[in-house]
Homo-oligomer: A and B are copies of this chain.
Amino acid sequence: MAIRIGILGYGNLGKGVECALKHNPDMELAAVFTRREPQSLHILTKGVPVYHVDKASSMKDAIDVMILCGGSATDLPVQTPEFVRLFNVVDSFDTHAKIPEHFDSVDKAAKESGHVGLISAGWDPGMFSLNRLYANAVLPGGHDYTFWGKGVSQGHSDAIRRIKGVKDARQYTIPVEKALEAVRSGSNPQLSTRQKHTRECFVVAEEDADLAEIEKEIVNMPNYFADYDTTVHFISEEELQRDHRGIPHGGFVIRTGKTGWNDENSHVVEYSLKLDSNPEFTASVIAAYARAVYRLNQEGHSGCRTVFDIAPAYLSALDGSQLRKHLL
């Protein structure tokens, strides 16, 4: 019997999870839950019901894992501990600084209810975290570097859109190739914020807007742009729609370290992602962890987990002997 999945929240991520389930025949979409009017939602999977989120608690026995597709700022800190009382859950909580407190609140609720709640699945946190951990364990005393991009930053795009005279905008974060090369050389460079990434902005301005003023506001915006070399391009709405509709992202996790009795040998471990669709890849990671969460709970486990706590074999639809034969 397939693992029955619920999706809570049907934005880019929720739709990405729906698509990921199509690629994983051992899982099936049981229902989508929304805070909107259910009739207003048109999902891709034929024959699957859409319910108002208030109905979720009555579906306890029809869903093996509920995937929470809300945002990290206000949705997940409330939803994950709430829903793990009813379901096994997976979320993609990505406010790095608040992970410890989120973990604690989910862990308490999960243990009380006997469910497994896996938090912070995705690629950063997620696959990038795994690669940081593995490389740290293998090369103690080394140096870690994480670069993001080339990719669209939703937060930075939103910040530009809030400027007076801006109609729409898309911001790309771009790793500096020279910095990447310096890291790969094993020279352990100390890199400033400005040296690691540049920011490129494509802006659609209102008619008669003061372009020079918009550009000045962008490049001097504290936290978002002031510490970076930022370039601003003004383009038409048509160009934005034509050339910048996608949500690509990616990045690099690199660790360099030494081995040998006198640290005489250098090593470079590099992991990189090049993603056409940030939400769909995140959703694909989530789907694999939903499988793991289901299995762990079937084995009697409960509590909060992160990607660090899950043995890799739990993620795969193949069994142990197949994995050893084909992938080891």
Which A residues are within 8 Å of any B CB, using their own CB? 16, 18-20, 22-24, 44, 96, 99-100, 103, 120, 125, 127, 129-134, 136-141, 184, 259-261, 265-277, 280-281, 283-285, 288, 291, 306-313, 315-317, 320-321, 323-325, 327-328
Contacts and interface: CB of A to CB of B under 8 A. Distances in A.
Consensus secondary structure, chain A interface: helix
B272 A266 contact: no
Contact of A127 (B134, B140, B285, B315): B134
Contacts of A127: 134, 138, 269
Nearest to A135: B127
Given A133-B313, A324-B100, A19 B275 contact: no
A240 to B, nearest CB: 19
B328 A288 contact: no
29 contacts: A16-B259, A19-B260, A23-B141, A23-B259, A24-B140, A96-B328, A99-B324, A100-B324, A127-B138, A129-B327, A130-B312, A133-B316, A136-B316, A138-B288, A140-B317, A184-B274, A259-B276, A259-B284, A265-B275, A265-B277, A265-B280, A267-B274, A267-B275, A268-B275, A270-B271, A306-B328, A308-B320, A308-B324, A310-B311
Nearest to A274: B268
Contacts of A277: 259-260, 265, 267
A172 to B, nearest CB: 17
Contacts of A23: 140-141, 259
Contacts of A139: 284
Most chain B CB within a 10 A radius of its CB, from A96, A184, A265, A277: A265
Given A133-B315, A140-B317, A267 B281 contact: yes
Contacts of A272: 268-271
Contacts of A16: 259
A318 to B, nearest CB: 8
A216 to B, nearest CB: 36
